[in-house]
Structure 1
Amino acid sequence: MFGAFLAVSLLTSPAYAQSVTVEEPDDYMQEHYRSSVPATLKGGTVVGPEQAHELWQSGMVAFVDVVPRPPKPANLPKGTIWREKSRHSIPGAIWLPNVGYGKIAPQTDAYFRQGLEKVTGGDKAHPVLLFCLADCWMSWNAAKRAIEEYGYETVYWFPEGTDGWTFYDYPTEVLKREPAPAQN
């Protein structure tokens, strides 16, 4: 019984996700966003939970959560009250949902750029750390975009995200998504 528990624990732990070899694609991931991710990010620095925690404690790195925002279910019965699920994340992080898709609309691109500018004071040399959940390509795509399209110089990618963070019992807080900028 204990052996089966140990095997399941090892297979579902954040450390196991790192043992699967996935090649880094040339372009953004366009599908299967919740699948094994590469161990590398060209131009960026990959960190684990302990390194992410050290960077967080330093107070010198902007933390950006890119987990997607769950959509309101279609066809809810009339009068149904919809409440978004709370996002428990790394304290002090900014939540920029939906910016990690392979292709993003111009409004989402502007939202991502403005969010990064907000947390870095517009300084592209200011370090940023992007994360989501374990085995989530959203943060890889977002980190790649920050490096290659937006020109950020010091980008950390935390592939284990809040799953790895909470596995180490680091603190969390409920985040509200960053409001979208007003449309003209």
Structure 2
Amino acid sequence: MIRAVLLALLLAGPAAAQVPEPETYRGEPYRAPVPASLRGAVVIDAAQALRLHGQGVPFLDVLPRKTRPEGLPEGTLWREPPHETIPGAVWLWDTGWENLAPAEQARLERGLDQASRGDKAAPLVIFCRADCWMSWNAARRAVALGYTGVHWFPGGIEGWLAAGGAPLVRAVPADP
């Protein structure tokens, strides 16, 4: 029963909560109810995401990359945990924070340009996790950069899986 309710919520598309669009980028907590809209972008549900994916529209995953914890004793082995994403998605890690460092901003701009092949009107799908402000921030930045084909998928990987999307694959981080 709980699974059916969760599936219905994820398939319904944008969060039903009445969350207003902020005038700027959103910070902590990033995992929280998101608005049902994003000015300048098309908000899509899982069924639309599956359809766009099937049409070959580029998908951009903006979930952060896990970094080596600070303060580990010298010589401690640390392996970056794997990140799984929608098949074919480009992982533009760390590009959904409230404030971006120059390297992160450049990674986002390069990734958008490559995915769109220089056509700012080309459709692009931006996502991360369900109810995650990082994808909202990144999609808002894409709109601010002049991209007019931005599709924001707030259901993220959870919505993708709940809708019967292809199994996730191991992500390869976009070049730094």
TM over 0.5: yes
Q: Counterpart of 2:139?
A: 143
Deviation at 1:127, TM superposition (A): 0.9
Alignment map for 1:4-83 (pairs within 5 Å): 6-7=1-2, 10=5, 14=10, 18-59=15-56, 61-83=57-79
Over the aligned positions, Cα root-mean-square deviation in angstroms equals: 1.8
Amino acid at match of 2:82: S
Q: Compared with structure 1, are the counterparts of its residues 53 and 15 closer, same or farther at alpha carbon in structure 2 (3 Å cutoff)?
A: closer
Task: Judge which range, 80-89 or 62-71, deviates more.
Answer: 80-89
Q: Which runs of 5+ in 2 are unaligned?
A: none
Q: Distance in 2 between matches of 1:65 and 1:75?
A: 29
User: Do structure 1's residue 128 and structure 2's residue 107 form an aligned pair?
Assistant: no
Percent identity, aligned pairs only? 42
Deviation at 1:121, TM superposition (A): 1.2
Q: Distance in 2 between matches of 1:109 and 1:63?
A: 18
Amino acid at match of 1:18: A
Task: Judge which range, 120-129 or 138-147, deviates more.
Answer: 120-129
Deviation at 1:18, TM superposition (A): 2.0
- TM normalised by structure 1 equals 0.87
Aligned residues: 173
Q: Counterpart of 1:115?
A: 111
Residue pair 2:46, 2:159 contacting (<8 A) in 1 also: yes
User: Do structure 1's residue 163 and structure 2's residue 158 form an aligned pair?
Assistant: yes
Q: Which runs of 5+ in 1 are unaligned?
A: 1-5
Task: Judge which range, 131-140 or 168-177, deviates more.
Answer: 168-177
Higher Cα Rg, which structure: 1
Amino acid at match of 2:83: R
SS at match of 1:130: strand
Cα deviation 1:44-72 (Å, max 9, x = unaligned) = 1001111000000011x211000011121
